[in-house]
Chain A
Amino acid sequence: MAVNLLTLNAASNTIYAWRKRYDMTTTSTSVITFANSTTQIIESIIVAWDATSTPSASDHFSVRLNSPSGNRYLAFQQKLFKFDSVQLVYKGAPIYVGNGEITSISALASSSNYRMFINGLKIT
């Protein structure tokens, strides 16, 4: 069971903030693994293009949630896009992780110029 947020107290529970930066590669890689016993809130997943060169039309990336009940893609073969002048190219919505439903997050990109930033909260 996921933790009941209303029952949390400082004497017996913790909420820690964490973050992770990952330089994406052309090989699908497990970026983060999650223990079954913990509840986590992934607050944001950011993917950005980190190069002075202009991405080609075929550049893309994917972010996958690995689950025993079937993998799910947050972004599958997502093209890099620049709407107006914003350079940040993908923003993932908050995700709740707990009870072994999501065991890891994997990432894959067509270029090593992609950067991935993940921010979250770990609740125990």
Chain B
Amino acid sequence: MSYNILNLTKIEPFLKSGVLSSTNTTLYQTSVADGLIRITDLEFFNVTTSITATISVKAWTNTTSNITEIYLDNFPLQPGNTILVADASCPIWLGPHAAHEGSAGAHGLYITTSVTASPSGIRYIISGEEFA
């Protein structure tokens, strides 16, 4: 499915922050089965100099193990860096969407991250709007 934005009945802002766990961390999960979100801030920070790791950001459907989109695939965590994935001038759409020009659309429902080494206190912040 995909959303005709002209038919939306809900726009809910959200903001969530926390610490990455040593396994997958769900950054945000939409409140409906086929959510559409527009991320206006997504950052990872507090990467210490002792960490050599990569991070992945994936949009999933709520079907078990059904990955529909990999946004960042093993993106390197450079010590001391903040990884800025999206901000207000650079928004990212995730979730059900129409094909662009003939390519198949992906259906993302919630956003998870994973790291290849112990995250040791890496923090994240994500904010945006959820549409339905």
* A residues lining the B interface (CB < 8 Å): 8-10, 13-21, 32-35, 43-44, 46, 48, 50-52, 82, 84-88, 91-93, 115, 117, 119-122
Contacts and interface: CB of A to CB of B under 8 A. Distances in A.
Given A10-B7, A15-B6, A93 B89 contact: yes
Contact of A122 (B69, B76, B90, B98): B98
Interface stretch (B17-25, B79-87, B118-126): B79-87
B101 A16 contact: no
Interface in B66-94: 69-76, 78, 80-87, 89-94
Interface of B: 2-7, 36, 38, 52, 54, 69-76, 78, 80-87, 89-95, 97-101, 103, 105
Contacts of A87: 75, 78, 81-84
B69 to A, nearest CB: 8
